[in-house]
Amino acid sequence: MKITKIKAVGKKPVYDISVNSELYDEQNYVLENGVITHNTGGMYSSNKVLFISKAQDKDKTSKELLGYDFTINIEKSRLVKEKSKFTFNVKFDGGINKWSGLLDLAIDVGLVVKPSQGWYSKVNQETGEIEDKKYREKETNNREFWKDIISNEKFNIFIEEKYQLSKKTKILDVEEDEVE
């Protein structure tokens, strides 16, 4: 089948119709008014499906529980690439660490390197040389460390390409006479 015309009809109610698949072999149905439906269930009828997992964040020496590391897995989305993962560290005494998850991304794009186990160094954005100063992971959790990285065009393009689903115009924004 080929789409020949799209007509804007405004907002209309949508219904998820399904039948007991144990009783019927078919998954597609033509209703009395000619509408074709398919057994969908929750996954197909959802706009977004996110799975959130958590792991304990404990002090390495005292083993005291400090908070949790949350990972959000994108199973389905209209805005973010599926199978994307976002990590967030949440401490009991400080809330969400707004820098969490960025270190791995900065390494992936080449703006930070890991010269030795447990240490991180920034890469000079003009020369490409590894800077002498080394940081522990918790020392990177501040604006001073991140300000030149998050304003870097290469970093921002990398983030868009990694997570953004599309830059194309939504079909709802297309005028009727533009589509054949």
In this structure, how many other beta carbons lie within 10 angstroms of the beta carbon of residue 107?
14
pLDDT, residue 1, reads: 61
pLDDT, residue 162, reads: 93
pLDDT, residue 180, reads: 43
pLDDT, residue 156, reads: 94
Torsion of CA 166, 172, 174, 178, to 10 degrees: 120
d(CA 108, CA 141) in angstroms, rounded, equals 18
pLDDT, residue 144, reads: 95
Share of the chain above pLDDT 70, in %: 74
pLDDT, residue 10, reads: 84
d(CA 109, CA 125) in angstroms, rounded, equals 12
Q: Which amino acid is at 114?
A: K
pLDDT digits (tens, 9 = 90+) for 76-93: 888 889 899 999 999 999
User: Which regions of the chain are under pLDDT 50?
Assistant: 169, 171, 174, 176-180
d(CA 46, CA 77) in angstroms, rounded, equals 9
Q: Which amino acid is at 142?
A: N
pLDDT digits (tens, 9 = 90+) for 50-77: 999 999 999 989 999 999 999 999 998 8
Structure tokens, 179: 């589509």
Structure tokens, 125: 């954005």
pLDDT, residue 179, reads: 44
